[in-house]
Amino acid sequence: MSRVEAAPAPGIDILGHYINGNVVAATGRSTAVFNPATGRVSKQVALADADILEQAVFAAQTAFPSWRHTPPQKRAQILFRFKQLLEEYADEICQCITAEHGKVLDDARGELGRGIEVVEYACGISELLKGEHSKNAGPDIDSWSEFQPLGIVAGITPFNFPAMVPMWMFPLAIACGNTFILKPSERDPSASMLIAELFSKAGLPDGVFNIVNGDRITVELILNDERIEAVSFVGSTLIAESIYKQATASGKRVQALGGAKNHAVIMPDADLDNAVNALMGAAFGSCGERCMAISVAVCVSFETAEQVVKRLKNRVEKLKIGPGTDTSNDMGPLITSEALQRIRSYIEKGLEQGAELSVDGRELVVPGHEDGFFIGGCLFDEVTEDMSIYQDEIFGPVLCVVRVENLDEAMVLINQHEYGNGTCIFTRDGETARYFSDNIKVGMVGVNVALPVPIASQSFGGWKRSLFGDLYVYGPDAVRFYTRRKTMTQRWPASDKTEKAKFSFPSSPQS
């Protein structure tokens, strides 16, 4: 039974949409939302059709003129109240995340915390929107620039961070004076709906932030709507590329973040205990369902590989796995049964292609949760670059160990891979770290940091086929993405003087 066809239990809730400051009841098509820990349907969520999107676009279009002219400082005051409410309702938001995604509550709290950091950054919008001014750019001529909002913008976000990734987008877009339509993942939509209600409670005018729940059909409607000026997307590379091509062809501004295959290089001089600890969290946190997850450990030298694999094997076998509501667990379930089957198939491919499965998590059974979408941590050794488990983004708790002889060989592997999202190196040598950071063809680099996710005042994005578009999400790039620069040049000639015609540029010094 597919997700759309899955029949809800009698009396099960159907989640609607959030438009113009109100919850809009579900109509038409819907799909099942599962609790991954039990494997059971917990609710249904509506799938927006053209009429629902029209309601959202009309609300955003109606709200835009007034919101655009709202002083940035007043927008910031609403964001400050929003931040406070996010902190007050953190437990409720995190419970929504864990119930529908499956990640452990501590991981959900970390996710929400990173999203709140972006809200904090957006609170400084008065400073971020300051333009540039040039007095006397020419004879009695002044020139300045300012940054104006685009209009209606949209965000299409994935299941793996149902609170954080939307907050990578809408706080800054709204702070810049735009109105926003969010299409969250239909697999775990409840956190976004609660967050939208909190934003209204903070004083956000109706229509500035809207949510349309939906699927591929809803996405097509968003991409084809000419009134939507820009689209932000996070998801798989194939879909990111498709969205980028379709949306730019219709004149939209687009940032589309795709997949990843993130490598960690472990040098012979590394602190191996700390490196392995970092790898465990980076590879198996959130069940490996992160675009910044480390999925390949590149061990430089035979001895380094032997020591790393020995330590990893011991740690992976001891992972405590169960429902995310149990805070003693290290890892929860996967998001869907389809994800579970996909990861199992990758493990089979790895074995068929000659990799050594040092830790096999396929037989894991969680007592009392036999129907949940659980799999244990998996560790492959002797992985080579021609294998599917090396080339593809598995998006699960599978860590591959690749053995190389030197740093240059490790860097060739990373630089030749189609993805360039994140990477890191573990070493005690500053010269090695500097050389690696300077020459690696990857957008985000860590030195003795396994998950080099930039802070809110920086920007997040990869290289190569991990990003389609010119600007990263959040941070300074987001302000530029969600605004247009307008440059003004003005001159006030003396009223008692008639000037001759001039045929050079007015700002030329000789004018």
Q: Is 102 left (phi over 0), alpha (psi -120 to 50) or beta?
A: left
Q: Which H or E run includes 22?
A: strand 22-24
pLDDT for 441-471, tens place per residue?
999 999 999 999 999 999 999 999 999 999 9
Average of per-residue pLDDT across 15-23:
97
For the cut 70, the answer to whether the pLDDT of residue 506 exceeds it is no
The pLDDT value given to residue 507: 59
Any idea which residue has 């990640």 for tokens? 103
Dihedral pair phi/psi, residue 357, rounded to 5°: -85, 95
Q: What is the CA radius of gyration of the chain?
A: 25
Tell me: pLDDT of 5 over 90.
no
Enter the tokens of residue 345.
């198939």
- The pLDDT tens digits for 278-299 are 999 999 999 999 999 999 999 9
- Decide if 324 contacts 332 (C-beta within 8 A): yes
Q: Which residues of 169-196 are buried (b: 16+ CB within 10 A; e: fewer)?
A: bbbbbbbbbbbbbbbbbbbbbbbbbbbb
pLDDT value at residue 497 = 73
| pLDDT surpassing 70 at residue 389 | yes
Is the predicted pLDDT of residue 510 greater than 60, yes or no?
A: no
Residue 27 confidence class, pLDDT cut points 50, 70, 90: confident
| pLDDT at residue 263 tops 60 | yes
Look at residue 7 in the predicted model and tell me its pLDDT: 47
Q: Which domains does the chain have, with CATH numbers?
A: 14-258+466-486 (3.40.605.10), 262-447 (3.40.309.10)
Residue 139 has pLDDT above 50, yes or no: yes
Q: Among 6-15, 321-330, 370-379, name the one with the lowest average pLDDT.
A: 6-15
Question: What Cα–Cα distance (Å) separates residue 113 from each residue in 11, 25, 201, 228, 286?
Answer: 34, 30, 20, 29, 15
Please compute the mean of the pLDDT values over residues 397-415 and round it to a whole number: 98
Are residues 369 and 340 in contact, defined by beta-carbon separation less than 8 angstroms?
Answer: no
pLDDT number for residue 406: 98
- For residues 235, 155, 153, 190, the Cα torsion angle rounded to the nearest 10 degrees is 170
Residue 312 to residue 277: CA distance in whole angstroms: 9
In this prediction, residues 110-134 reach a mean pLDDT of: 96
Rounded Cα gap, residues 50 and 125, in angstroms: 34
Residue 509 has pLDDT above 70, yes or no: no
- What mean pLDDT comes out for the span 140-149? 92
pLDDT bracket for residue 11 (50, 70, 90): low
Side-chain-side CA neighbours of residue 175 (13 Å): 33
Q: What is the overall mean pLDDT for the chain?
A: 94
For 315-361, write each residue's pLDDT tens digit: 999 999 999 999 999 999 999 999 999 999 999 999 999 999 999 99
382: CB partners within 8 A, 6+ apart? 354, 355, 356, 401, 403
Q: Which of 96, 291, 299, 400 is catalytic?
A: 291
User: Is 291 one of the annotated active-site residues of the chain?
Assistant: yes
pLDDT per residue over 194-224, tens digit each?
999 999 999 999 999 999 999 999 999 999 9
| 3-state SS, residue 401 | strand
What pLDDT shows up at residue 4? 44
- Concatenating the DSSP letter of every residue in 196-259 gives HHHHHHTTPPTTSEEE----HHHHHHHHH-TTEEEEEEES-HHHHHHHHHHHHHTT-EEEEE--
Tell me the pairing of strands 467-468 and 253-257.
antiparallel
Q: What is the average per-residue pLDDT within 94-114? A: 97
What's the predicted TM-score (pTM) here?
0.94
Write out the H or E segment, with its range, that includes residue 78: helix 72-88
Report percent pLDDT > 70 for the chain: 96
Residues in the chain: 511
CA dihedral 474, 259, 45, 83 (to 10 degrees): -20
Q: Can you tell me the distance from the alpha carbon of 118 to that of 105, in angstroms, rounded to the nearest whole number?
A: 20
User: What average pLDDT score do residues 302-327 get?
Assistant: 97
Q: How far apart are CA 264 and CA 141, in angstroms?
A: 55
pLDDT grade, residue 503 (50/70/90)? low
pLDDT tens digits, 64-97:
999 999 999 999 999 999 999 999 999 999 999 9
Residue 193's identity, in one-letter code, is M
Determine contact, residues 330/317, Cβ cutoff 8 Å. Answer: no
